[in-house]
Structure 1
Amino acid sequence: MKITRSFHFYAVMVCLLLSQRSIAQNWKFPYQNHTLSFEERVNDLVGRMTLEEKVSQMLNSSPAIPRLEVPAYDWWNETLHGVARTPYPVTVFPQAIGMAATFDTAALFKMADYSALEGRVIFNKAVAEGKTNSRYLGLTYWTPNINIFRDPRWGRGQETYGEDPYLTAMLGDAFVRGLQGSDPKYLKAAACAKHYAVHSGPEPLRHVFNADVSAYDLWDTYLPAFKKLVVDSKVIGVMCAYNAFRKQPCCASDLLMTDILRNQWSFSGYVTSDCWAIDDFFKNHKTHPDAASASADAVFHGTDLDCGTDAYKALVQAVKEEKITEQQIDVSVKRLFLVRFKLGMFDPPSMVKYAQTPDSKLDAAEHGKHALQMARESMVLLKNKNNTLPLSKKLKKIVVLGPNADNPLAQLGNYNGIPSKLITILQGIKDKAGASTKVVYEQAVNFTNNNVLSFTDISGDCSADGKPGIKATYYSNKELNGEPVATVYEKQIDHEWQEGEKVVENLRANHFSARYVTDYKPTGNGSITFELIADDGVRFSINGKTVFDSWTRRQRSIASYTLTTQKDSVYHLVIEFWQGEGKATLKLNTGNFAVTDFNALAKKHSDADAFIFAGGISPQLEGEEMKVSDPGFNGGDRTTIMIPAIQTELMKTLQGTGKPVIFVMMTGSAIATPWEAENVSAIVNAWYGGQSAGTAIADILFGDYNPSGRLPVTFYKSDADLTAFEDYSMKNRTYRYFTGKPLYGFGYGLSYTTFRYDQLQAPAVADEGKGITVSVRVTNAGKKAGDEVVQLYLVNKNTAIATSLKTLKGFQRITLKPGESKVVKFTLLPEDLTYVNAGGQYQALNGKMQLCAGGHQPDEPNPSSGNVVKKEIIIKKKAQ
């Protein structure tokens, strides 16, 4: 038996050695030799390239180099809250700001892990189909967005983890570790910390804006999260921002790029420009005369990849003009190829465990379960007057209203994928309510007005070429030229494509056009209103007469036209549309507009047991450089943080019925709701909750889940609490420096139970430059099990030190049964007990400090979340 085992072992070893030898010898170029280190292979490959070939690899869409057997690759991909803009169904988690509200690093780590697995499946499919040159199919994700959400008017704040540097750093760290994996050799996927640095709007000015902050604010607020991800998390990528910093474009900043990122932090990964940022050097910032000068300066400062444009093609000219050397080009190209090698792109799948990810991981059931759990954890109960919530499942009638009640787009946020299944708020409530409960839906208002379109389905009255429906012809260019990619017949025009998403057959939503033709034959005399919603260029004609034309304007158009109709007449409708970059929307709604009479609506539903109003705002109004100019919004940002007045007006009418009014608020940022905070029965902030938002909201409304989310941003009372949007100083901004009283503070959130804190343990005296251990006992003093987010704050009591008013230093999410207690421990390292001086240097704290532990900030009472315990400590200054 021993002889047999020994022989078997020997045979296996021989086979392995022969196999490895075969692999090692089966290469044309040394860079393909898997026994060499990645660095040796990269050096060999880049050393074989011409200058032109090297430069071609510094664009996000890097072409193949056939003679060297290098496949094409597009670096541009996103996975902000699930893999984005892919043609495959994927798991869509809550928007980043919602995930931040969970205060749950373990959940974020798992979410990133799941997203990376789904991304691997998608990339494997792309490799199998020879489509590695397609955008949104690669393994280099330009996520996470760790900018500080300093001003609630910024439309992209929804992509961040909130306003606090510590919370942002900890959540960003969890995301990077989950996405990149723990394999000692290969990356599961490549994360990218963006937008470096000092970047947070306004969106309409981002290509021309020059930010200038003090050394204190730079190091105290804007850089800590980047430092954490670069130095500790080992993020492989960094994206430099559009704006300038101290009159140098961020992608060519001496301080940010050279001194801090490459020298102080020793970052060895790759840097990509934000898309079209290099063009901004000479087109908008006017700091450089042309593409060659701009590109050379960006590469000199360590920006390795040019996204969105072909400005870097001018690097060939720049080398010839001696603006930069080819050896400097080599540095960037080697960084880029090292990332691709670490992702296993030049090794057989059998050698890369992540390349063997099974297809079953795409949109997997366990991922969907986690998306639901994160949605539940993200919801923040802001108000619950007289325990209005949870609702009974035995109510007779519930009326659900509002622009977000049945709005899938609001749940998906931005930079999102498309799930195989999505549950809206309305559907979630219908699914959850008891069999005896009647659930009625009335939209009642749009986001900013109450002129609501009552929809009419005219599809049965439309035909083209003798076939029912609408003839849709799609082209792979923006000019409706050449042979069409496809001609299909559609029932209606109702499209919302993510950039890069499949439109039809092999056509992706990027630089395409379409023509829609149908003959409409009404069944009676009267009128019909056509509401056209379109991104980018659109034309609409009826019987040859143009009724709307925005063909030459790149902006979102919302237009309506009322047609007087006669029975048996035929109306020839033609809509032509083109899309460039970004999302593509084309919708033709039909019906008639009518102004909602709120009093009549309330009277109509006087028998309701409760009103649930799903309002707030949506990613249709706030986001990245959007063409939106609705009242209160501008270019993706907001001009006011007040909730649109029409929504308050409706809730006032509903409140007048004497029935409970529950406000479910969807938003990516802070909304000021002073009347609602005083008057409505309950408020749940639901963010943009992802594919399972409707189920999660219903779970909370009916008590199947105890709410536990906490605000990662300050909810101010009004615009008067805000300083100028363009001012990047942190004075009077965020909970760390705001001297007023917020409507709801950072870290705030209610529960259906009560938590009690006591036994705060910490040394009375600590030594400067050393860490300390802090512990506190937390007890669930209520009758319902629930999660508590235990928060530890440090309050500076030493007036000789100029620093923030208070600072989050630790947090833990725990679960407690009724009556259960748990001791929560925090370890504060020496670097946790430092502050930034006026010169931007970290120094050890000393003197009198106060430690505060609780379910919220130390000076903001939260009656449903227990109390806060405090202890003063003295940090002894070292003897000089």
Structure 2
Amino acid sequence: MWDHTLPVEQRVADLVSRLTLEEKAAQMLNAAPAIPRLGIPAYDWWNETLHGVARTPYHVTSYPQAIAMAATWDTASLYLMADYSATEGRAVHNRATAEGKNNERYMGLTYWTPNINIFRDPRWGRGQETYGEDPYLTAKLGAAFVRGLQGNDPKYLKAAACAKHFAVHSGPEPSRHSDNFNPSPHDLWDTYLPAFHELIVNAGVAGVMCAYNAVNNQPCCGNDLLMTSILRRQWKFTGYVTSDCWAIDDFFKYHKTHKDATAAAADALIHSTDIECGTSVYHSLINAVQTGLISEKQLDTSLKRLFTVRFRLGMFDPVSEVKYAQTPGSVLESPEHDAHALKMARQSIVLLKNTDGVLPLSKAIRKIAVIGPNADNKIAVLGNYNGTPSKVVTVVEGIRQKLGPGAELIFEKAINHTNDTLLAYRDMTAMLSFKGSPGVQAEYFNNERLEGAPVQTVMEKDIDHYWAEGQTPVPNIGTIHYSARYTSFLKAAATETMNFEIEGDDGYRLFINDKMVVDAWTRNRWGARPFTLPVQKDSSYKLVVEFYQNEGNASIRLKTGDRVKTDFAALAARLREVDAIIFAGGISPQLEGEEMPVKVPGFDGGDRTTIMLPEVQTRLLEALQQTGKPVIFVMMTGSAIAIPREQARIPAIVNAWYGGQRAGTAIADVLFGDYNPSGRLPVTFYASDKDLPAFTDYSMHNRTYRYFRGKPLYPFGYGLSYTNFRYNGLKVAESARKGAPVNISVELTNTGKLDGDEVVQLYVSHPGVANAPVRSLKGFQRIQLKHGESKHISFTLTAEDLSLIDEKGNRYQPEGKTVLSIGGGQPGMDNAATGNVLSHVIMIQ
């Protein structure tokens, strides 16, 4: 078992043969316990690295959100990002091992990413985690990610990727535990499965995560078609499968397809779900074996898959034998990784509109205003499933760094994402006291858990603190991994309902009269938490705030004040002397994401109920236009936003997604012309909610660019540039035999005055064929060209590229007319992107 020179299969078989039934069942939980008698350490399989290592207590590089990386249309950049993330993941794991924490969650080497679900509906809050709406683009980017993350060592995995969520999974979030979808065989094989096929069959992904929902009335983790027929038999997948977290509970709690935990556990195992994440339903496997529902050999099959992954990660071999186990901590946030985060942030930015060359702005600008809820919002640039970098550059910081000496920058938040009422702070100090002394009792602990006696107990005037990295709140406390408890009594000056906000980094919670009213101890990514407190004059209210810091900067603030409605006309009047106005708006991961406790107009449980830009932002933009100054709309989002009024009126619109730790720098580079924008949309931007079928309708009819028959606001593949490109010299055969490859080539020239990147896009369509997509992407290349430079671009289309899926889910190649289109976007669009599109009809015989 411990002889690293023996074949992995032999070692795994030996190990599994030594386990008792109880030990086997326990090893199939995500938090697998140690087996001291065999020297097997505990291991938690649950880890994330969607766009950089996530949720670790150490500082790591945070790249643009997945949907933003998809907007780069650059497989090489994604491969390198994944490689760098695996490098940092190894450093985190090695450091955790040295500190005795390697058995903790988010310290392992099995990453449950990438999310390759198809972003079929822009209302889905988790769509930001995907590579967009197209199966081909998703497959190619996902495969690049897997290869980069897992490395190319012949013996050891650098890290283990996991394709999720298998399958037919893309919202709604509030009902995901009980949903059942019945996709047609055509839609299943044409849209929902191709990316999984690419990662599983061709890219060699180590793991697969099955989804919460049911398909054809069977939960995905116990599904005959998906798990048994397709995954294991047709695709011959030999890697491990994990359930999504708490998905096995859903069998009997929500789907009601199984009577109890034992039945659910047995059926999930029968369908080769090897790990149960979240709870301990798989403890019931012991009872399932003892009652004859399953055999112990079925557990052995799963365990062999699980331990094969751990052995391939080198977890049971000497450090000297595993080069990745020697990765030093110095790679965390290395200059190369930071530079790549900046590169990808730049590459991802999509220029949607630029009337009369408003952009780029002149660097000689003397006075500029940066307005909006995302202007100085670090949560917005980091997206979800993110790590914590030591420094995050927001929009206002990036622009401030870009401006020359003597230039003036005016910053105002002005509004929240969905309303125009902000908190005007009051001084709280006169209201707070503790045991007769004014202020707040602060107790500081040398751990993150408020355990033991406080190292220091002091009185402070209020709860409003910020500590930069390396600073300490009080003497004799460490610079990291500390916690605090703040206790005070608030005496009300009047009978009223007081407005409060609490905000902190890393985790915090608030108690009023010993009742917890705010819990952000582990899920604090939603920013400031507002709440109200009805008070009676001269009455006292006990306030307790608990807080912890793990690394880096830290802050905790409790504020009260009056809700004040922003006067848009007054704001516009204050800005009449500026040279330009940048409005940083859109939405944020504070509003969209996974199963979130958010319910505000336009948003519900992490999803969106409308794709329109929140009305308050449209009204503010209209007011800013009244200044007569150039208004540039920098939109941050993880999904397509409908902005028809902005498209008609605002001269310049930039879609910046959630751009990662260097988002502000990248945005400033684009706005001031130090980088020529080159991102392309990986999703369709629709004009209104009327363009969308019902959210729960999983038919692809009238969905995504492949089947949408209406007119998009901005089409899939769209993006402008500060330069121009021209395609000519198209070469392709007039006809081809069925089953034969087809070569196509074109000459691409940068005809503009600036250097820039172009994304060459190749689409295939089959006019006259019933139920065929309008067109489908079948090739793309990101090309750098200096102004005046030309390059020869070529593609080879395979028979599969020229094929369709019939109504029974079978692939076939139709005869007759096939249209090939190559250029800077989709053919036939009024709002074409950077270059012209050339089309050619080829006859398939």
On whether the aligned pair clears a TM of 0.5, the verdict is yes
Aligned pair 1:38/2:8, yes or no? yes
What secondary structure is seen at the aligned counterpart in 1 of 2:801? helix
Query: Which string of whole-angstrom CA distances, capped at 9 and with x for unpartnered residues, describes residues 480-508 of structure 1?
Result: 9x857987778746799xxxxxxx98999
Matched residue, 2:470: none
Distance 1:292 1:578 in 2: 39
> Following superposition of structure 1 onto structure 2, how do residues 72-83 of structure 1 map, counting pairs within 5 Å?
72-83=42-53
Q: Partners of 1:403 and 1:845 in 2: how far apart? A: 51
* Equivalent residue, structure 2, for 1:207: 177
1:665 matches 2:635? yes
CA deviation map 1:656-704 (0-9, x unaligned)? 1211110000000000001000001110000000000000000000000
Deviations 1:722-779 (CA, angstroms, capped at 9, x unpaired): 0000000000000000000000010000000011111111111111111111111111
Q: Could you tell me how far apart the structure 2 residues matched to 1:178 and 1:68 are? A: 33
CA–CA separation in structure 1 for the residues paired with 2:603 and 2:443? 33
Q: Partner of 2:624 in structure 1?
A: 654
Letter in 1 for 2:791: K
Q: Equivalent residue for 2:811?
A: 842
Residue 369 of structure 2 corresponds to 399
Q: Is the contact between residue 149 and residue 158 of structure 2 (CA under 8 Å) also seen in structure 1?
A: yes
Query: What amino acid sits opposite 2:734 in the alignment?
Result: A
Match of 2:471 in 1: none
Q: Does 1:812 align with 2:817?
A: no
Distance in 2 between the 1:678 and 1:272 partners? 47
Decide whether aligned partners of structure 1 residues 146 and 484 sit closer, same or farther in structure 2, where only a CA change above 3 A counts. farther
1:415 & 1:391 partners in 2: Cα distance?
A: 34
Where structure 1 has 5 or more consecutive residues not aligned to the other structure, the ranges are: 1-30, 497-503
Could you list the per-position Cα deviations for residues 462-497 of structure 1 after superposition, in whole angstroms to 9, with x for gaps in the alignment?
77687976625789999x9x857987778746799x
CA distance in 1, matches of 2:259, 2:455: 44
Alpha-carbon distance in structure 2 between the residues aligned to 1:362 and 1:459: 41
Q: Which amino acid aligns with 2:301?
A: V
Secondary structure of the 2:530 match is: strand
Q: 1:152 aligns with which of 110, 122, 130?
A: 122
- Aligned pair 1:446/2:446, yes or no? no
In 1, Cα distance between equivalents of 2:209 and 2:455: 37
Match of 1:348 in 2: 318
Instruction: Name the structure 1 match of 2:797.
Output: 828
Tell me which residue corresponds to 1:139: 109
Aligned pair in 2 of structure 1 residues 550, 104: CA closer, same or farther (>3 Å)?
A: closer
Distance (Å, rounded) in 1 between the aligned partners of 2:699 and 2:515 = 50
Change in Cα spacing, 1:76 to 1:394, as seen in structure 2 (3 Å) is: same
The verdict on how the C-alpha distance between 1:875 and 1:505 changes in structure 2, with shifts beyond 3 A counting, is: farther
Give, in whole Å, the separation in 1 of the partners of 2:497 and 2:827: 61
Distance, in Å, in 2 between the alignment partners of 1:618 and 1:485 is 37
Matched, 1:178 2:145: no
Is residue 459–residue 492 contact of structure 1 (8 Å, CA) maintained in 2?
A: no
- Residue of structure 2 in register with 1:25 after alignment: none
CA spacing shift, 1:390–1:521, aligned 2, 3 Å: farther
Asked whether 1:852 is paired with 2:811, we answer: no
Q: Deviations over 1:249-284 (max 9, x none)?
A: 000000000000000000000000000000001111
Report the number of matched residues: 825
| 1:628-673 CA distance string (max 9 Å, x none) | 0011000000000000000000000111121111000000000000
Aligned equivalents of 1:812 and 1:202: distance in 2? Answer: 33
1:247 counterpart residue number: 217
SS in 1 for 2:310: helix
1:104 maps to 2:74: yes
Task: Report SS of the residue matched to 2:779.
Answer: strand
Task: Name the aligned partner's letter for residue 715 of structure 1.
Answer: F
Instruction: Tell me how far apart the structure 1 counterparts of residues 560 and 401 of structure 2 sit (CA, whole Å).
Output: 29
Deviation at 1:458, TM superposition (A): 5.5
Cα displacement (A) at 1:518: 3.2
Q: Secondary structure at the match of 1:746?
A: coil
| Residue 606 in structure 1 maps to residue 576 in structure 2 | yes
Map of 1:499 onto structure 2: none
- Counterpart pick for 2:237 among 250, 257, 267: 267
Normalising by structure 2, report the TM-score. 0.92
Distance 2:327 2:427 in 1: 44
Q: Which residue of 1 aligns with 2:186?
A: 216
Aligned to 1:26: none
Alpha-carbon spacing, 1:693–1:332, altered in 2? closer, same or farther (3 Å): same
Counterpart in 2 of 1:681? 651
Does the CA contact (< 8 Å) of 2:495 and 2:535 recur in 1?
Answer: no
Q: CA offset at residue 570 of structure 1?
A: 9.2
* Residue 377 of structure 2 corresponds to residue 425 of structure 1: no
1:860 Cα deviation from its structure 2 partner: 1.5
- Tell me how far apart the structure 1 counterparts of residues 37 and 298 of structure 2 sit (CA, whole Å): 24
Distance in 1 separating the partners of 2:556 and 2:692: 36
Structure 1 match to 2:340? 370
Q: Is the aligned partner of 1:415 residue 2:378?
A: no
The answer to whether the 8 A contact 1:752-1:864 is kept is: no
Which has the larger displacement, 31-40 or 106-115? 31-40
Structure 2 Cα separation of the partners of residues 470 and 667 of structure 1: 41
- Would you say the 8 A contact 2:714–2:831 is kept in 1? no
Deviations 1:601-636 (A, max 9, x none): 111121111111000000000000000001100000
* Per-residue CA distance 1:110-154 (angstroms, 9 max, x = gap): 000000000000111122122222000000000000000000000
Of 558, 578, 582, the match for 2:530: 558
* Contact kept in structure 2, 1:462 and 1:470, CA below 8 Å: no
Deviations 1:796-851 (A, max 9, x none): 12x24531110001000011111101111112122212111111011123210111
Describe the shift of the 1:110–1:646 C-alpha distance in structure 2 as closer, same or farther (beyond 3 A). Answer: same
Asked if 1:757 corresponds to 2:748, the answer is no
SS of 2:783 mapped into structure 1: strand
Do residues 874 (structure 1) and 835 (structure 2) align?
Answer: no
Letter in 1 for 2:707: Y
When the two structures are superposed, what TM-score results if normalisation uses the length of structure 1? 0.88
Aligned residues of 1:459 and 1:469 also touching (Cα < 8 A): no
SS at match of 1:560: strand
Give the drift of 1:358.
2.1
Among residues 357, 360, 367, which one is paired with 2:330 in the alignment? 360
Q: Secondary structure at the match of 1:727?
A: coil
Distance in 1, Cα, partners of 2:453 & 2:421: 38
Quick one: percent identity of the two aligned structures? Answer: 59
Residue equivalent to 1:238? 208
Give yes or no for the alignment of 1:791 onto 2:761: yes
Cross-structure match for 1:51: 21
Check whether the contact 2:46–2:106 (CA below 8 A) recurs between aligned residues. yes
**One-letter identity of the residue aligned with 2:243:** S
Aligned residues: CA RMSD: 3.3
- Measured against aligned partners, the alpha-carbon deviations of 1:322-357 in whole angstroms (never above 9, x if no partner) come to 010000000001100000000000000111111111
Partners of 2:519 and 2:665 in 1: how far apart?
A: 39
1:226 is matched with 196
* Corresponding residue of 1:380: 350
| Contact 1:475-1:484 within 8 A present in 2 as well | no
> What are the superposed Cα offsets for residues 505-553 of structure 1, whole Å, 9 maximum, x if unpaired?
89999xxx98531367999999984224699996543xx598968999x
CA spacing shift, 1:800–1:790, aligned 2, 3 Å: closer
Q: Does 1:285 align with 2:246?
A: no
Residue 533 of structure 1 contacts residue 588 of structure 1 at CA under 8 Å; is this kept in 2? yes
Secondary structure of 1:830's partner?
coil
AA at the equivalent of 1:805:
V
Structure 2 letter corresponding to 1:626: M
Contact 1:278 1:306 in 2 (8 A): yes
Query: Does the aligned pair in 2 maintain the 1:530–1:562 contact within 8 Å?
Result: no
CA distance change for structure 1 residues 549 and 715 in 2, over 3 Å: closer, same or farther? closer
SS at match of 1:819: coil
Q: Which residue of 1 aligns with 2:588?
A: 618
Corresponding residue for 2:697? 727
